[in-house]
Structure 1
C-alpha cells in the first residue's frame, strides 16, 4: 500500500443473510453473479490496490427484494452485519446503510437507526426501487430527514424497469443509463433544490450525466419546467458528487473533470463485483491521466472523501 492511501467510496459487502435472500428469490445483481466476500479478502485487495479504507454498501438489487415486511427485516440484518464489520476494523471500513425503499416509513426508520445507533457514514439508495425513481414525491419525508442531517447519500444503479438486452447483464450497460435517469429525476423534480444540505454521490462517474449535462440543462426548461432556466438546472446537476468506479478512462475523465465541481470526484473500485483485474485496469488510467491540475489526483484518491467523511481522515 502506498500513502496517502485511497478512500474507496464504492466498495461492496456481501452479507450472508443478503446472499441467502437473493438465492431464495432467484435473484442476482442484474444478471451479474454474486461473488464471495470476507473482511480478510477485502483488506487483502485494498492492500494491493493502495486503498486505506473502503466504505461498504450492499449493491443492487438492494434490500427490498419482495414484500415490505421482509425488506424491513433484511435491511436491519444487512446493516447490523456491516456495522459489526466496521466495528472490528474502523480503520479499514466505513458503511453506507441499506434502505428499504419504496416502503417510505421503513426507509425513514432504518435511516435514523443506522445513522444514530449503528454509526453509518451515510445511506445507499438504489437508482430505482421496483421502478419508482428517487424523485418520486412519496419519498419526500426521507429526503427531508436526510437533508436535516446533511447526510451523504450514495446512489447505486439498479436494473431499470425494462428487459435486459439479450446476452448483456445490466451492470455492463443498463446501470450506466439508470444512474443518469435517476439523477436527472432528482434534479427535475426539485429534490436537490429543496434540500440544500444533501451530499449525493453518483456511482460510475455519474453514468453519462457529465457528458450530457448541457443537453439536459438546455432542453429541460423548454420541455419540462419553463420556470427554470438552463443555468438553474445546471447548478443542480453540479451539486452531485461522482465516484470513479469503472469510469476512469482517457475518454471519460476529461468530461467528468470538466463538469464536476472542485472536490466532487471520489475514488471508487466496485470490488468485489468488479474483480481485482478490473480495478487494476481502471487504476492504471486514473494514475496515468496526464491533465490533472496540481493536487487533483491526490484529492480524488483521498482528500475529497476526507471532506465528506471526517471520521476517515487521518
Structure 2
C-alpha cells in the first residue's frame, strides 16, 4: 500500500477470564456475540490488513458487571492478561487498561497500577458506568489523575441505559448514540476544559458528534448555558480524538475531517467484533478517499497515533 503500515487504536482483546465472566451471567456485548480471539489470529488479521500494531482493549460491557468486588478482581485479571500479550509481542501490541467504574476508588487504584506497573498505554472507559456518564462529578478524582499523567483515554460505547431497539443489537445504532451522549456530557460538565492534558479518543468517528457539533455549540451558548460562548464549546469538542472504526465512509469521512483537528484522527478496525470483511469494506473507502490533502492519509493511518503511542512508532 502507498502509506506506512497502520497503527490500529481500536482493536479488541477477549481474555478468557472476561468471556467466562460474561457467560456466567448470560451477558454479551449489547446483543452482539463474543467472538473468539488469540494473539496469533490478531497478528494474521493485521498482516492481511496492513496494520503494523494494534492497541488492545476490552469492549462493552467492560469489567463492572454489577458487583464492586468482582469488578475489581476482573479488572486486575483482564489487565494482567493483556499486559502479558503485549510483553510477548511488543512490536505488534499495546493495550488500554480496564478500570472498574463506577467504583471510583477501585478505578483510580487500578488505573495507577496498570499505568505504573503494567505499563499500559492508557485506559479504556465505557461511555457510561452503570448508567452514570463520564462527566459525573463523582468521577473527578480519576480525571484529575489521568490529566496529571497526560494519559490516553479510549472511550468505547456501551449499551445505553434503556431497552434495545427491537431486533437491533446495540453496536448497530445505540453505540453511535451513546458515544455522542458521553462526549457531550464530558463537555457540558467541564471535564474537557478543566483537564487540558487529557487525550480522549472517541470510538467510531465520535458517533455523530462531528456532524452535530455546531448544533451543540449553538444551542448550548444560546439556550442551555448562555454564559458559555459557542467558540469555547467548539474548542472543547475539538479536543477529542476520533478513530475511524466503522466510520471511514464517503458520508462520514467528510464531516469528520472537516471538524476534527488534523492530528486528531486515528485509524481503527474494531476487530474482532467487526469481522475482517467489515475491515476490508471500510479500508477500501479510506484507501480511495479522493479529498485527502497531501500527507493526510499517512497521518490518519499512522503518524497521528505515533505521537500518542511512541512505543509503537518503532
TM-score, normalising length: structure 1: 0.99
Aligned 8 A contact 1:2 1:50 in 2 = no
Q: Secondary structure at the match of 1:167?
A: coil
Q: Which residue of 2 aligns with 1:303?
A: 303
Match of 2:235 in 1: 235
Cα deviation code 1:219-264 (max 9, x no counterpart): 0123322221100100000000000000000000000000000100
Contact 2:3 2:301 survives alignment (8 Å): no
1:101 aligned residue: 101
Matched residue of 1:171: which SS? helix
Please list every run of 5 or more consecutive structure 2 residues that lacks an aligned counterpart in the other structure: none
Any gaps of 5 or more consecutive residues in structure 1?
A: none
Whole-Å separation in 1 of the counterparts to 2:259 and 2:3: 28
Distance 2:3 2:211 in 1: 32
| 1:64–1:71 Cα contact (<8 Å) kept | yes
Q: How does 1:124-139 map onto structure 2 within 5 Å?
A: 124-139=124-139
CA distance in 2, matches of 1:20, 1:223: 47
Tell me if 1:266 matches 2:234. no
Alpha-carbon contact 1:7-1:51 (below 8 Å) kept: yes
Q: 8 Å contact 2:3–2:297 — kept in the other structure?
A: no
Structure 2 partner of 1:190? 190
Given the alignment of the two structures, is residue 27 of structure 1 paired with residue 43 of structure 2, yes or no?
no
SS state of the match for residue 231, structure 2?
Answer: helix
RMSD over equivalenced CA pairs, Å: 0.9
For 1:308 and 1:223, locate their aligned partners in 2 and report how far apart those are by CA, in whole Å.
Answer: 36
Aligned to 2:91: 91
Shift in Å, 1:186: 0.2
Q: Return the alpha-carbon distance in structure 2 between the equivalents of residues 299 and 18 of structure 1.
A: 34
Query: Which whole-Å deviations, capped at 9, do the CAs of 1:194-241 have from their partners, x for residues lacking one?
Result: 000000000000000000000000001233222211001000000000
Structural mapping, 1:96-175, within 5 Å = 96-175=96-175
CA distance in 2, matches of 1:251, 1:240: 20
CA apart distance, 1:3:
6.1
Q: Distance in 2 between matches of 1:189 and 1:133?
A: 10
1:180 deviates by 0.1
**What do the CA deviations read for 1:23-59 (whole angstroms, capped 9, x no partner)?**
0111000000000000000000000000000000000
For the 8 Å contact 1:102–1:132, the answer to whether it is kept is yes
Q: Distance in 1 between matches of 2:45 and 2:185?
A: 35
Measure, in 1, the Cα distance between the counterparts of 2:3 and 2:231: 39
CA distance in 1 between partners of 2:65 and 2:230 (Å): 38
Tell me if structure 1 keeps the 8 A contact 2:245–2:269: yes
Task: Give the number of aligned pairs.
Answer: 314
Could you tell me which residue of structure 2 aligns to residue 250 of structure 1?
Answer: 250
State the match for 2:220 in structure 1.
220
Moved over 6 A (4+): none
Output the CA distance in 2 between the equivalents of 1:124 and 1:223.
33
For residues 225 and 199 of structure 2, what CA distance do their matches in structure 1 show?
24
Q: TM-score, normalised by structure 2?
A: 0.99
Deviation sequence 1:125-180 (CA, Å, 0-9, x none):
00001110000000000000000000000000000001000000000000000000
